[in-house]
Structure 1
Amino acid sequence: MADTTARPRTGAAGDRTGLRNMQQLLQLRWIAVTGQLVTILVVHFGIGIGLPLGPMLAVLVALAAFNLGSQIWWRRRPRVSERALLIGLLVDVASLTAQLYLSGGITNPFVFLFVLQVALGTMLLRPSSSWIIAAATTACVLALGLLPTPVQIRMSASSGLANHYLQGLLICFLLVASLLVVFIGRIARILRDRDARLAQLRQRAAEEDHIVRMGLLASGAAHELGTPLSTLSVILGDWRHEPLIRDDVGLIREVLDMQAQVERCKSIVTRILLVAGETRGEAPEETTLAAFLDELADQWRTLHPASGFEYRRLFHGDRRIVADTGLQQMVWNVLDNALEVSPGSILFEADCRDGSLVIDVCDDGPGFAPAVLESLGAPYNSTKGRPGGGLGLFLSANVARSLGGRLSVTNRLPGGACVRMALPLASIAIEEMDDGR
C-alpha cells in the first residue's frame, strides 16, 4: 500500500538538481502504484482478507492519474516551487491514508509507511514545509486510530511468522528500509553534485575577483610606469643627437638598443592597460582567423627569438572574426611558458574542427608535475619556485572560459607537454563561412 513519492527541496528550482530529483520521484510514484495494486490483489485473493476493492482501486486510479498529470506538467516546466512540492507530498499522504483506512486503519502494518513520508519530507523540503508534513501524518495516524474502518486485522503475533500481521510488518520494514537506502542514496548523490557545482561556481567567482584585483593593480602600476618610460624615451632621443654619442659607433648602438627596450616596455604597458580596459582609441578589431593567427605568431616570434619555434596553421579556408588583445594574450601566455622550459623546441599549431578553434602549444620541457595538473588553472599553481609563478596559465584558462571554451594540459612521452586551448568559433566569428577543407 506504499506511496513513496516526495519532491526535491529547491527554492530556485530551475536548476538541473530539481529536475533530476523530480524524475526520480515520478519514477518512485509509478513503483508505488504498481506495489499497491499487487498488494491489494494478493491480500484479497491470495490471503483471503476481504477488502473493498472498488474504493481502493478508485484511490489507486486517482493516484496514477495525478502522477501522469504531474509527469506531463513538469516536462514543460523548468521551475519547481516550494508550494508545488508541499502539495505533492500532501497528496501522497492523503492517498496513503485513504488506502490504510479502507484496509484496516491503525491495525494495518503498512501504517509505518508514514515514517517514510516524514523522512523524505525532512530531507527534500524546507523545515517549515517538513513540519507541515509531520503534522499531517500525525493527524492521519490519529484519525486512523479513532475512526472505525471497514476491515479489522488481528494484531496478535502469538502464531509467529504464520501471522498475517507480522508478515505485513516485516514486509513494511523491508520496504521502508530498501526505499530509504535506494531513494535517499540517489537524492544524496544529486545534492552532492549540486554542492560540488556550487563550490565550483564559488571558486570561479573567487578567481574572477582575483583577476579584477590583479587588473586594478596592473593598471595602477602601468600608469605609474608610463611617465618614467616616456621620460627615458625622450632622454634617449636627445642622446642620439649628441655629438659625442652620435660619432661613437659603440655608444650609438647601445643607445639604439636601449631605445628598443624602452619601446618594448611601453608596448607591454599598453597591453596591460588594454587588458584592463583602460586604453583609448583601441577596440576589438574585425579581421580574419588566418590573418589573426599568422600575425600573432609573427609578432611573438619577433619579440621572443626562439631557435626552435614552429608555427602550423592546418586549416585552409578562412572566416571573419572579432579579435582583441585578451585572445592574443591568452596564446602568448602559453607560448611564454613554453619558451621558459623549452627554448629550443616550441610547436604552435592551430586548426578548426567540430565548430571549434583548437590551438595546441607543445614543448620538449620536463612537463607538468602531477600537483599542477590536479589544480590546473588555479592562481600561483606553479613549480617554477618564484613569486607570481603560475599566473600565465591562470589568466589563459579564464580567458578561454569567458569565451565558452576550455584549456587543458597533457604531458608527452618521453618528455614535454602540450597545452590545448579550444574555443567555440561562434564566440569569435562574425559569420560562418566554408573553411575549404
Structure 2
Amino acid sequence: MNMQSKTDFTQTMLTYWRAPSSYDSIVGRKNALQLIQLRWIAVVGQISTIAIVNLVFNIAIPTPAMLAILIFLIAFNIASSLRWHESLSVSSGELFFALLVDVITLTAQLYLSGGTQNPFAFLYLLQVIISAVLLNTISTWCIILITSACLAGLSVFSVPLQLPPSANGFSSLQTLGLVICFVLNAALLTIFITRISKNLRAGEAQLAEMRQHAAEEDHIVRMGLLASGAAHELGTPLATLSVILGDWQRMPEFNRNTEVQQEMHDMQIQLNRCKSIISGILLSAGEVRSESSAKTSIHRFLNDLVEEWKSSHAIAIFIFENKIPGDFPIAFNTALKQMIWNVLDNAFEASPKWVKFIATCEDAKLNLIVADAGPGFSDTMLTQFGKPYKSSKGRPGRGLGLFFVVNVARKLGGTVTAYNQHQPDAPNESGAVVRFSLPLQAIRLETEVESNNDV
C-alpha cells in the first residue's frame, strides 16, 4: 500500500470511529431545538393559567412574581435558541443544564401557587421522562433526585392559595387541574417523544450511511492493494512482450508478409489495451490520481475525451451536446476522464447504436449526463447502484466499474444518480441515464480565474 492509500485508510477509520460522537452531537442539537419548542408551549400555558386563575376563578396569586419567572424563562429560551441555532452540535451537559433550568422555574412557580396542593406538580413527571429520553443514565438519575427533592421541599415550604368564599371548594378545582395536567402530560409527551424518535431514526440512518461509506473506502484500499500487486506482476511480462514485438516489426522476413504485419499491429493494439486497463485499475483504486493532473479548459477536456472515445468505439449514433455557456480553465484529472469513459463504455455495451452525452453547468456544479437506448436499469440495480459486484451483465467479476465511478465522484465532492428515462430522439422506448453532479471548485483553477478577473 502506498503512502496516499495509507493516509486515506487512516482518515477513513478515524471518521468511522468518530462517527458516534458526531452523530450524538447532531441529534442532540435537533433534540435541543425540540426542547425550545416545548418551552414556548410551557410559557403560553403558564400565561393562560395565570390569566384564567385571576380572571375566571378570582383566586389571589402573586402574579408579579410569577410573571417575573416567566420573563426569565422567555429570556433563557431566546438565548438558548440563538446559541443552538448557531452551533452545529449540542452536548449532553448543555441538555442537562436546560432541563435543570426547566425544573427550577417549575419549582418556583409551584412554590408561589400552593406547592404540592397544586395539581400541576405532576408536571415533574414530564421533566423526568424527557430526561430519560435525552440524557444518559447518570444525568437522568440526577434529574430524578433533584425533582424528588423539590417536590419534598414544596410539601413543606410554599405560598398557600387564598381561595375566595365563592369558590366551589378546592377539591373540585383540584380535580379539574388534575385532568388538565394529565391531558397536558399525555399530549406533550406524545408530540415530543414522537419527534425525538424521528430524530433518532434519522441520526441512526446517517450513522449507518457513514459506516457504509467507511466500509466502501476500505474496500477501495483493498482493491488498490490487489491492483498494485497485479501491476507489478504484469508490468515486466508486458514490457518484455512489447520489446519482442518491436523487434519483430523491424525484421525483414516479417516486413515482407502483409498478413503477419497486420497481426503484429493487432497484437500491439491489444498490448496497449492491456497497459491501459492496468493503468485504469490503478487509477480507479486512487493510486495515480494526484500525479495525473494538468492544466486545460473544460471545453478542450470534454471535446478531446469525446473524440478519443469515439475513435475507439464503432458506434452508429453518438450525440454530444456541450451546453456549458463559457470556457474556463480546469485541472485535467485522469480519474475524472476514466470515470466518464467507464460510464460511456457501459452505455455502449447496453446500446451499441445510440449513446447521448450532455454537459451543462449550473449552480456552481458541472452536470454530465450519459443516456443510452438499451433496456435500462432493473429495479434491483437502481436500489444497489454503485455497490461492488452488482452488475446486470451476469458475468463474474463485473460490477466494479460503477462502484469506482461512484467513489471517484464522491472523492471529488459530487454525486452520481441513475434512473430510467425515454429519450425523444432515441430509437427505443426505454433507456438508462447516469448523471454526474460535480462541484466546479473540485476541478476549476481558481487562481487562474481570479487573475483573469483582475486583468
State the partner residue of 2:83. Answer: 73
What is the alpha-carbon distance in structure 2 between the residues aligned to residue 307 and residue 36 of structure 1?
76
Deviations 1:57-91 (A, max 9, x none): 23222222322333333344444233322222111
1:31 to 26, 38, 41: 41
The residue type paired with residue 34 of structure 2 is Q
Contact 1:350 1:357 in 2 (8 A): yes
Structure 2 residue 226 is matched with structure 1 residue 190: no
Which residue, out of 104, 107, 112, partners 1:94?
104
Q: In the aligned structure 2, how far is the partner of 1:282 from the partner of 1:42? A: 75
Instruction: Pick closer, same or farther for the CA change 1:213–1:170 going to 2, 3 Å.
Output: same
The Cα of 1:309 is off from its aligned counterpart by 2.7
Residue 388 of structure 1, CA deviation: 2.6
Tell me how far apart the structure 2 counterparts of residues 406 and 197 of structure 1 sit (CA, whole Å).
16
The corresponding residue for 1:235 is 244
Instruction: Give the conservation status (yes or no) of the 8 Å contact 2:113–2:158.
Output: no
Q: Find the counterpart in structure 2 of residue 420 from structure 1.
A: 435
Q: What is the RMSD of the two structures over their aligned residues, measured on CA atoms? A: 2.6
- The structure-2 alpha-carbon separation of the partners of 1:353 and 1:79, relative to structure 1 and needing over 3 Å to count, comes to closer
Cross-structure match for 1:47: 57
SS state at 2:56 partner: helix
Partner in structure 2 of residue 322 of structure 1: 331
TM-score calculated relative to the size of structure 2: 0.85
Q: Secondary structure at the residue paired with 2:155?
A: helix
1:136 is the counterpart of 2:130: no
Work out the CA distance in 2 between the residues paired with 1:246 and 1:360. 46
Provide, for residues 126-161 of structure 1, a one-character-per-residue CA deviation record: whole Å limited to 9, x for no partner: 2211111111111111222233542388xxxxx999
Q: Matches of 1:168 and 1:357 in 2, distance apart?
A: 62
The secondary structure found in structure 2 opposite 1:415 is: coil
Q: Distance in 2 between matches of 1:272 and 1:148?
A: 77
1:407 and 2:422 aligned: no
Could you tell me which of 195, 204, 214 is aligned with 2:223?
Answer: 214
Aligned length: 420
Conservation of the 8 A alpha-carbon contact between 1:275 and 1:325: no
Query: Which residues in structure 2 correspond to 1:276-355 (within 5 Å)?
Result: 276=285, 278=287, 282-315=291-324, 317-355=326-364
| Structure 2 gaps, min length 5 | 1-19, 423-428
The 10-residue stretch of structure 1 (171-180 or 133-142) with the greater mean CA deviation from structure 2: 133-142
- Matching residue's letter, 2:141: W
Label 1:306 to 1:37 Cα distance change in 2 as closer, same or farther (>3 A).
Answer: same
1:169 shift after superposition: 0.5
Q: After superposition, what is the alpha-carbon deviation per residue over 1:183-224, rounded to whole angstroms, capped at 9, x for unaligned?
A: 111121122111111111111111111111112211211221
State the Cα distance separating 1:238 from its structure 2 match: 2.5
* Displacement after TM superposition at 1:93 (Å): 0.6
Q: What is the alpha-carbon distance in structure 1 between the residues aligned to residue 252 and residue 123 of structure 2?
A: 102
State the distance in 2 between where 1:17 and 1:396 align: 31
Q: Which amino acid aligns with 2:437?
A: A
CA distance in 2, matches of 1:295, 1:41: 77
Give structure 1 stretches of 5+ with no counterpart: 1-9, 154-158
Question: Aligned pair in 2 of structure 1 residues 88, 277: CA closer, same or farther (>3 Å)?
Answer: closer
Hey, what's the Cα distance between the residues in 1 that align with 2:170 and 2:114?
A: 19
1:350, distance to aligned residue in structure 2 (A):
1.7
Query: Which residue of structure 2 aligns with residue 156 of structure 1?
Result: none
Runs ≥4 in structure 1, deviation > 6 angstroms?
Answer: 159-162
Indicate conservation of the 8 Å contact 2:123/2:185, yes or no: yes
Deviation at 1:172, TM superposition (A): 0.4
- Partners in 2 of 1:69 and 1:341 — Cα distance? 59
SS in 2 for 1:312: strand
